[in-house]
Structure formats: C-alpha cells, structure tokens
Amino acid sequence: MSSTDKIRGKVVVITGGARGIGLATAVALQALGAKIAIGDIDETTVKESGSARDFEVYGKLDVTDGASFESFLDEVERTIGPIDVVINNAGIMPTGRVVDEPDALTRRILEINVYGVILGSKSALRRMLPRRSGHIINIASLAGESHIPGLATYNASKHAVLGFSDTLREEYRGSGVHISSVLPTLTNTELGSGVTAPKAMRAAEPEEIAAAIVGLIVSPKSKVRVTRTAGIISQVVNFLPTPLGDAIGRSLGSGHAFLDDVDAERRKAYEERARGV
C-alpha cells in the first residue's frame, strides 16, 4: 500500500495548526488526501489559514480548556467523521533565565505544553479505544531529552511530554491505538525567531517536520527525531558521562544560544505572542 493509500480519507486533528509546524503538517497531509481539522487559540489566523487552504474544519481551540477541546473534537466528528489521528502540536517557547520568569508565565508554559497535551491525549483515547483504532502524535522536541540554558521550563515541559507519551504507549499497548512523539530540532517558524541554531545543528524547515509526521502515520513508531544529525548528536551526548556531555553542549554553543545570543529585536513579536502580552 502506498503512502497516499495509507493517508487518503483519514480524519486528522492538529492543535496549534494556524501556522508553523502544525500548518505545514496540515498542508502535507491534505496533499495526500487526508481530511484536515486545525484548531488554534489565535482565531483570526486559524480562520485565515483554514479558509485559504480549504481545510474541512478550522476554528478556535484552547488546548488548556477541556471543554474547548471536547467541543472542537465533537464538531470534527459531527462534520467529517471519526477521528483517526490527533496531533498535539500547540506549544510556546519563551526564552530567558528562569529566575526572571514570572510565575504566571511558568504556569502558562506548563499549561499549554504539558496539560494541553494530556487533555488532548485523554480526549483522543476516549474516542479511539472503543474503536480499537487511532493514532496520537505528541510534538515534543529535542529539548525533551536535553537541557538548554534559557529554556529551563520549556525543557521541563518537553521532558514531560516524552515521559507521558512513552507511558501511554505501554499503558495502551495492544489496544489498537498508536502513540508517537516527534522531537524536532530548532525549526524555522515564528517560535524560533531571533535564535541561531547551535553549531553543527542547522535549523530544520517546518516541511521536514511535516514529512516526518507523515512518515509516522504511514508507518507508526514510538518516536522520530528531526533532523537526523541533530537527533544523533543529542543521543550521543546523552549517552556520555554528564560532565563530558555538558562540555560538548557548551562547545556547540548551547550555553548562550537561547540567552545572550538571542536577537531580542527579531524575537520581540514572538515573545509577546507567546507570553500573551
């Protein structure tokens, strides 16, 4: 069976789909014949993106609100049918030293990046388990298996997404529902604006992450790291004794990439959006 055959007609929900990785994934899946629903907290942009591309469903979704999630998924099932794939993609990445991070922002990062993924996964499982079929894909990050100064709470949130997704995979083993995680490197979206990738790790394009997600749906597996090179570096560094791994991370520039090296002017608009200013 070709990739197109495996994707054609599938009902796919993507959170945070108004732009960036979520939108690139929606476009790639639509091209292969999937029926697409994108939800996003940014109602204006999600409506512009959805109507411009003629997706089946597009509208406001706040992943931190269980009622909003349920009603969005209900609407998708009413309009296009039982959901085959839920991609929990919505996320934010404010940068800076944790000591300067307002408590409300700490809570916001955890609510969107972790609580939102848990709510979305539960809601998807309740719909998929009785049918013994479905696929939940949680967008983590290579930050979920590394530690990067300037991203402490974000790192914590992505470690949590990986731990949660790995646990679900075992908890629902044999149920017919697949659980996968995606670990992108720094990717050229608004979220990464003003940040330069550490040495030896070029930034990815959102279309590369989308292609990896398409690959997961065609052939489900537990996780995929993108780019391949960044994934290998991350795994090797984790395998080494901590002082050596940390020293390699520093030599690649990860110690200041998300602090002093950030181009604050280029990043300003994103930081304001992410912080809800």
Residues labelled catalytic: 154
Using CB under 6 A as the criterion, what x/- string covers residues 155-184 for binding ligand NAD? -----------------------------x
Closer residue to ligand NAD, CB minimum distance, 175 or 207: 207
The span from the CA of 117 to the CA of 103, in Å, is: 21
Using rule CB under 6 A, residue 120 touches ligand NAD: no
Minimum Å gap between C-beta 243 and ligand NAD is: 26
Q: Which is nearer to ligand NAD, 34 or 139 (CB)?
A: 139
Determine, following the binding rule CB under 6 A, whether residue 7 of this chain makes contact with ligand NAD: no
Q: Which of 76, 124, 162, 186 binds ligand NAD (CB under 6 A)?
A: 186
DSSP secondary structure letter of residue 205: P
| Whether 36 contacts 22, CB under 8 Å | no
- If the CB atoms of residues 44 and 242 are measured against ligand NAD, the closer one turns out to be 44
Asked if 141 is part of the footprint of ligand NAD (rule: CB under 6 A), the reply reads yes
**C-beta of 92: minimal distance to ligand NAD in Å?**
6
Does residue 151 belong to the site contacting ligand NAD (CB under 6 A)?
Answer: no
14, β-bridge pairs:
38, 87
* Stretch 36-65 residues interacting with ligand NAD (CB under 6 A): 40-42, 61-64
Closest to ligand NAD by CB, 11 or 162 = 162
H/E stretch holding 27: helix 20-31
Contacts of 101 (CB under 8 A, 6+ apart): 94, 152, 153
Q: Which of 162, 191, 212, 230 binds ligand NAD (CB under 6 A)?
A: 191
DSSP string, 152-185: HHHHHHHHHHHHHHHHHHHHTTTTTEEEEEEEE-
Give the Cα separation of 92 and 157 in Å (integer): 10
Residues in the chain: 277
**Is position 192 an interface residue for ligand NAD (rule: CB under 6 A)?**
yes
The alpha helices in 172-241, defined as continuous H runs, are: 206-218, 228-239
DSSP letter for each residue of 124-155: HHHHHGGGT-EEEEEE--GGGGS--TT-HHHH
- Which residues are near ligand NAD by CB under 6 A? 15-16, 18-22, 40-42, 61-64, 89-93, 112, 116, 139, 141, 184, 186-187, 189-192
